[in-house]
Amino acid sequence: MIGLLGGTFDPIHYGHLRPAQEVYRDLGLESLRLIPCATPPHRRPPLASAAQRLRMVELAAPEFPGFIADDREVRRGGVSYTVPTLLSVRDDIGDEPLCFILGSDAFNSITTWHRWQQLFALAHLVVVQRPGSPRGPLPAWAAPRVCTRAEELADQSAGKILFMSVVPQDISATDIRAAIARGETPPADRLPPPVWDYIHRHHIYRSHSS
Ligand code: ATP
């Protein structure tokens, strides 16, 4: 099985990386692709450029064996919808099981995503708890897809939903950007040192409050 974690990654931090590492280990994934978006559909434009966010992902990945920085959304440009990304990954991997990892905040709004029903033909969803975003009641459309054992994901290439408990990481990119804008150095347990070094050297997030 292959895992994907997509995001704005403005910047990438351990709140993205550590839960993804737990998923990688617990599901015995072959690799985990980190895919920074070009333009995010559902939020304000990022402060760092797509090239900078991709570079930060490339700097973060080596700390986590099996993680790969994947530039396909940045190369494609424009608004990064997930379905075309999954179609493009499918072209590369054939019918191997594919797990799209997302936080509970993202899952709670998934029915607002472009062509969201098509996600299930292309990937499984693995939902990790994000502190401050408790999962709402299980929607009726989701119930038939939910599985409770990780092994069930390997039985088919797409279409299931697994809720996984992970060690909570109370870290947000918004807080990191705000701390940097105040002139602070984010604590070392928030983001990989090479990512902080890059932010610092390129003066990213210095003059903004969010
Ligand atoms: P912000 O903190 O500014 O809201 P973000 O980190 O939520 O930014 P993205 O980079 O787009 O924004 O997040 C990518 C994915 O990582 C999403 O699925 C999100 O739910 C998940 N995620 C982000 N932070 C955490 C966290 N602390 N714990 C679990 N999942 C997270």
Query: What's the number of domains the chain is made of?
Result: 1
What's residue 210's pLDDT? 47
Single-letter code of the amino acid located at 122: L
List average pLDDT for each run of 10 residues in the chain, which is 210 residues long. 98 98 98 98 92 98 98 98 98 97 95 96 97 91 95 96 96 96 94 98 81
Query: What φ, ψ does residue 125 adopt, rounded to 5°?
Result: -105, 130
Domain for residue 175, yes or no?
A: no
What's residue 208's pLDDT? 57
Single-letter code of the amino acid located at 205: Y
Q: What is the distance in A from the centroid of ligand 1 to the CA of 195?
A: 16
Q: Which residues pair with 128 in a beta bridge?
A: 103, 164
Q: How far is CA 77 from each of CA 74, 110, 112, 116, rounded to the nearest angstrom?
A: 5, 22, 21, 20
What's residue 194's pLDDT? 98
DSSP string, 98-156: EEEEEEHHHHHTGGGSTTGGGHHHH-EEEEE-BTTB---SPPTTTGGGEES-GGGGGGS
Between CA 172 and CA 130 the distance in angstroms is 10
Domain for residue 80, yes or no?
A: yes
For ligand 1, what atom is nearest to the CA of residue 5? 15
Domain for residue 195, yes or no?
A: no
Domain for residue 92, yes or no?
A: yes
What lies within 8 Å, CB to CB, of 3 at 6+ separation is 20, 23, 24, 27, 29, 31, 32, 33, 98, 99, 100, 101, 126
Domain for residue 97, yes or no?
A: yes
Closest C-alpha to ligand 1, atom 6? 173
Residue 152: give the domain boundaries.
2-170
Contact predicate 152/144, CB 8 Å = no
Domain for residue 204, yes or no?
A: no
Q: What is the distance in A from the centroid of ligand 1 to the CA of 172?
A: 7
Domain for residue 178, yes or no?
A: no
What's residue 135's pLDDT? 85
Report the CATH number that the domain containing residue 132 is assigned in CATH.
3.40.50.620
Q: What is the distance in A from the centroid of ligand 1 to the CA of 127?
A: 12
Domain for residue 60, yes or no?
A: yes
What's residue 136's pLDDT? 84
